[in-house]
Structure 1
Amino acid sequence: MSKKPLSAFRYISFDVVGTLIDFEAGLTDALHAIAQENGVALDGEEALGHYRAARYMPDVQLFPDDLVRVYGVIAPKLGLPADAANAARFRDAVPAWKAFPDAAEALASLKQTYRLIAMTNAQRWAFDHFNAALGQPFHASFTVDDTGTEKPDPAFFEQVFAFVEGEGATKDDILHTAQSQYHDIGVSRRLGMTNCWIERRHGQTGYGGTIEPASFTVPDYHFTSMAGLAAAVTTARS
C-alpha cells in the first residue's frame, strides 16, 4: 500500500531532544568544558556511549534531572571529577543546549501548513527552554510531566491521539517525525501511524546518545535534516 502524501496530514508530531535540539552536542560540550578545566582529554563518542548506558540503568530518573545521577556514573569512566558541583553543572547546562541550525526555520515553514505537536521525554522545565529556542512553534506539547510516561510507551502516544480526537481528527491525520528509531519510529509504526525519520547522525556510525533499537524500522519518509522535510512539503503542496 502506498504511503499517504505529505499534503494529506493535518498535524505533524515531533520528538524534540535529538530531532530538533542537538542534545549530543549539548552533552559533549558540557563534558568537554569540565574535562578541559581538569586537563583531561575527552572523546565525545566514547562519552556518548557511557551516557547511553547510564541513561538506561534500572534506577533511571526523569530527564534531564537524571543528568545529575548520570554524571556520577560516567565521570569516573571518563577521568572526570565525580563531585556534586560538576554533576549539577552538567544538568544545569541544559537550558543552553542549541537547536539544530535548520530546526527553527523548518518549523516556522511547516507551521504554515500543519498544527505542530511536541512529544518529548524531557520534563516541562527543560521543554520550555527548548520551545523558546525553536521559536515557540507548537500548537500543543506533551512532556513526561504531562503524560506520566516516556516514549516508546504506547500510552504516551495514546494521550496525543485523544487530544487530536478532541479537535475532530484521528491518528491518521498525524505524521510522526523523529530521529530515534527506538523511542519513536518503531512504536509509531506498530501503532499504525505514518512516520518520518530525521536521520540526524547520517554519515556517522552507531547510535550516539540514543539507545539502539532491537530492529531497524524502515520509515515512510526519510530525510537527513528538518530542512529536507520542509522542502519536501513545499514541493508536495506546489
Structure 2
Amino acid sequence: MDLTAFEALSFDCYGTLIDWETGMAAVLGPWAREQGLQVGNEELLLGYGGHEAAVEREAPTTRYPEVLATAFRRAGADLGAAVSEEWAQRLAGSVPDWPAFPDSADALARLARHYRLIIVSNVHRDGFAGSNRQLRGEFAAVITAEDVGGYKPADNHFRALYRTLEELGIERTELLHVAQSLFHDHTVAKRENLRSVWINRRHDRPGWGATKQPTEQWSYDLEFPTMAAFADAVDAAFAAR
C-alpha cells in the first residue's frame, strides 16, 4: 500500500494512543485487593471489557464516565464484590489520568508533517481534552461519543467522520484509519470498505484484554506493533517518493 497516497489519518485514541488498560488497571487492581479478590489485572480487564461494550450498546447516549461506572459495578457483581459509589466514581473520573503510550506524542508529531489528523473516539469531550494534554496532538477534528450519541462499533462516528472529510475537502479514498481495536474499529473498516492500519499493541500478550472479542468480520491493510513503527514506515515512504 502506498502510504503517500493519503491526505488524512483518523485515529482511535484509547488503546491506540492512550494506554487505557494500564489506566483502568490502576483503579481496578487496588479495588480488587481491597476486596480481597485473588484476581490479576488481565482477568479484571477481561471481565470489565464485555460489560463496557454491553452498556455502550444498551445506552448509546450515556456519557462515557457513567459507562465506566456502570460497567465497573456489573464486573464487580460478577466477582461477588459490590463496587461502592466512591470506587465507581474513581474509575469514571480517571480518563484524563490514563497514560499515553511512550511513542504516541512523537509519532503524532511526525505523522502531522504528512497528513491531516482526526480523532474518532469512544469517550467524552472532557476526557479526550485531558488525554490530549499528554498527546499534544494538533487535530483537524475531534469526534467523540458525546458528539455523535453512540459508541463504536456502531456507525455514528463514521457518519460524522465522512461529513468532516467533506468539510475538509478530503475524499474518502484519501483517508486511512488507524486503530488498535479489531472490535471497535476494524469491524467497521470491513463494513465500510475503509483502508485501515492495525496498531497491534497487544502483540506480545495473549488474549483480548479490555477489548471485547469481535463477533463480526474485520479487515485491515497493514499491521504494526507500535505507533513508532507506523510513523517510521510513513517517514520512509515519503523519503523514497
Q: TM-score, normalised by structure 2?
A: 0.90
Alignment of 1:138-177 (within 5 A): 138-177=139-178
Q: How big is each residue's C-alpha offset from its partner over 1:180-220, in whole Å with a ceiling of 9 and x where there is no partner?
A: 11111121132122100000110212211111112553421
Contact 1:106 1:230 in 2 (8 A): yes
Aligned residue pair count: 235
Q: What's the offset of the Cα at 1:53?
A: 2.1
Contact 1:22 1:99 in 2 (8 A): yes
Alignment of 1:61-140 (within 5 A): 61-78=62-79, 80-140=81-141
What is the CA–CA distance in structure 2 between the aligned matches of 1:233 and 1:165, rounded to whole Å? 24
Higher helix share: 2
Contact 2:108 2:137 in 1 (8 A): no
Segments of structure 1 that go 5 or more residues without pairing to the other structure are none
Q: What's the offset of the Cα at 1:91?
A: 1.4
Q: TM-score, normalised by structure 1?
A: 0.91
Contact 2:8 2:170 in 1 (8 A): no
Counterpart of 1:14? 11
Q: What's the offset of the Cα at 1:76?
A: 4.0
Classify 1:39/1:186 alpha carbon distance in 2 versus 1 (closer, same or farther; 3 Å).
closer
What is the CA–CA distance in structure 2 between the aligned matches of 1:196 and 1:52, rounded to whole Å? 22
Which of 50, 54, 57 aligns to 1:57? It is 54
Q: Percent identity?
A: 36
Segments of structure 2 that go 5 or more residues without pairing to the other structure are none
Q: What amino acid maps onto 2:180 in structure 1? A: Q
Q: How big is each residue's C-alpha offset from its partner over 1:140-186, in whole Å with a ceiling of 9 and x where there is no partner?
A: 11001111222222332122112111222111111100011111112
Contact 1:12 1:116 in 2 (8 A): yes
Q: What's the offset of the Cα at 1:228?
A: 0.6
Contact 1:19 1:179 in 2 (8 A): yes
Counterpart of 1:29? 26
What is the root-mean-square deviation of aligned Cα atoms in Å? 1.8
Classify 1:188/1:67 alpha carbon distance in 2 versus 1 (closer, same or farther; 3 Å).
same
What is the CA–CA distance in structure 2 between the aligned matches of 1:160 and 1:153, rounded to whole Å? 13
Q: What amino acid maps onto 1:210 in structure 2? A: T
What is the CA–CA distance in structure 1 between the aligned matches of 2:54 and 2:220, rounded to whole Å? 28
Q: What amino acid maps onto 2:207 in structure 1? A: G
What is the CA–CA distance in structure 2 between the aligned matches of 1:8 and 1:89, rounded to whole Å? 44
